Structure 1
């Protein structure tokens, strides 16, 4: 090996070794978790994600994983669900990453999430989010940064309209009310971008009230009534449903 190349290789090897050494504490405490669930109806922000049927029961198979980098607060993850509201597509695949930390007795969570629909890219959407949790209360805001917004607007839609700056604000409450039983409730508000609202699409409120029972070993059964306002525009997809979900975390 020529001397110059050897020097460069040695420098690269030392740099790589130092980087690995710096990262080793991070990887040493990294943790991988997974989850799988079967739900009677998948609703996203109060709306049915299977618009092909008007029945209350529209089963969906869901699951994903989370990878946390030890005590650093950084994490990445993926979550998937069967869906049926975009032509040619039957899967939603979410990819996200972020940073969690605690300040002033509040748990904070900042990150980015991309919704991917492999069979029809018109649905692809990217959001930034921030959440604050204090005791049983959580407030979360998600802000669309992509031009595309779930098929309503964007470069792939071809309409020339933008979904960017659509916002979603949610307040949630979760509290164990007796051993193994947790009460959960949430209310959210979707405010569409000006381009989407120019089509006559109204902003709306969604809600969910229910609870979950922990069987132990990561198995839980949840039940909730979930729906949204503006049914006169969106139709039955916003209709309130009693949703049952059996989940397993590992």
Structure 2
């Protein structure tokens, strides 16, 4: 008669074998893609991410990768960009993961994203998000769950204020209007937490209108006019600018 330990080992072996058999097709179908780009200005929610210079051209190098787990809908990824708005830091590193699925003719996307600034953790921010796409239109909402929102509340510096519950709602449009040409537009609204608003920081609206041209072999060239309102408070970082971006996907 087999010992209890031996029986447990056999059970474990069968379970592990079954798990491997199920996981194998998933890993076999997994897809890894990457991207790299150079842009004349990196704007995030309408605001320049290079606040050190009041110039129309503030080049930024960007790139990352996405890993999709086959047809399961789950994915993870990383995206990075050079920045210059936070003392002691020159790079933004984004890490995210989520789940995509289709229901009622709508494509849904839910997940979480963390913005990391290795040289200055005061800017680190984590959000959860949900998006719905129907045809050429997408509505997406991002909700801050970290203690602070890009350092606006100064929570990590001991201010006692919170940036949590800051929200960002964006409506966007993307449609191929002729072969290789895609028209894009977006309108977003940032609603700061009550602690941030109490310091005098106003909610604001950002916008972007432009298009992209498929150059072939994974290359694309995009142009957009982007900016935000409330310039009297935020200054030149919200200024409307023409942005050119050359990107490569692989």
* Same-fold status (TM-score > 0.5): yes
Whether 1:64 and 2:64 are equivalent positions in the alignment is yes
TM-score, length-scaled by structure 2: 0.95
Q: Is residue 112 from structure 1 mapped to residue 112 from structure 2 by the alignment? A: yes
- Cα offsets for 1:153-189 (capped at 9, x unmatched): 2541311111111000000011111111111100000
Query: CA separation in 1, counterparts of 2:17 and 2:86?
Result: 48
Alignment partner of 1:70: what SS?
Answer: coil
Aligned 1:87-236 pairs, distance under 5 A: 87-153=87-153, 155-236=155-236
Give the distance between the partners of 1:149 and 1:15, measured in 2 at CA: 44
CA distance in 1 between counterparts of 2:222 and 2:155 reads 38
Runs of 5+ in structure 2 lacking a partner?
A: none
1:231-246 aligned within 5 A: 231-246=231-246
Matching of residues 37-76 of structure 1 within 5 Å:
37-76=37-76
Higher mean C-alpha deviation, range 84-93 or range 3-12: 3-12
Alpha-carbon separation, structure 2, partners of 1:58 and 1:163: 28
Separation (CA, whole Å) in 1 of partners of 2:61 and 2:217: 20
Q: Secondary structure at the match of 1:72?
A: coil
Q: Is the 8 A contact 1:52 1:85 kept in 2?
A: yes
Residue 25 of structure 2 aligns to a residue whose secondary structure is helix
> Alpha-carbon deviations, 1:175-224, whole Å to 9, x = none?
11111111110000000000100100000000000000001111000000
Task: Give, in angstroms, the shift of residue 5 of structure 1.
Answer: 6.2
Deviation at 1:22, TM superposition (A): 1.9
Q: Contact 2:155–2:163 (CA<8 Å) still a contact in 1?
A: no
Contact (CA 8 Å) 1:65, 1:78: kept in 2 or not? yes
Q: Secondary structure of 1:163's match?
A: coil
Q: Check if 1:19 corresponds to 2:6.
A: no
Once residues 115 and 133 of structure 1 are traced to their aligned partners in structure 2, the CA distance between those partners, rounded to angstroms, is 24
Moved more, 14-23 or 142-151: 14-23
> Matched residues in 1 for 2:155 and 2:198: separation?
17
CA shift, 1:4, in A, is 6.8
Q: In the TM superposition, what is the alpha-carbon distance from 1:26 to its structure 2 partner?
A: 1.1
- Say whether the 8 Å CA contact 1:36–1:64 is kept in structure 2: yes
Structure 1 residue 11, shift from structure 2 partner: 4.7
Aligned with 1:159: secondary structure?
coil
Q: CA deviation at 1:101?
A: 0.6
- Assess if the C-alpha contact under 8 Å between 1:148 and 1:157 holds in 2: no
For residue 58 of structure 2, give the secondary structure of its aligned residue in structure 1: coil
Shift of 1:7: 5.7
1:42 Cα deviation (Å)?
0.1
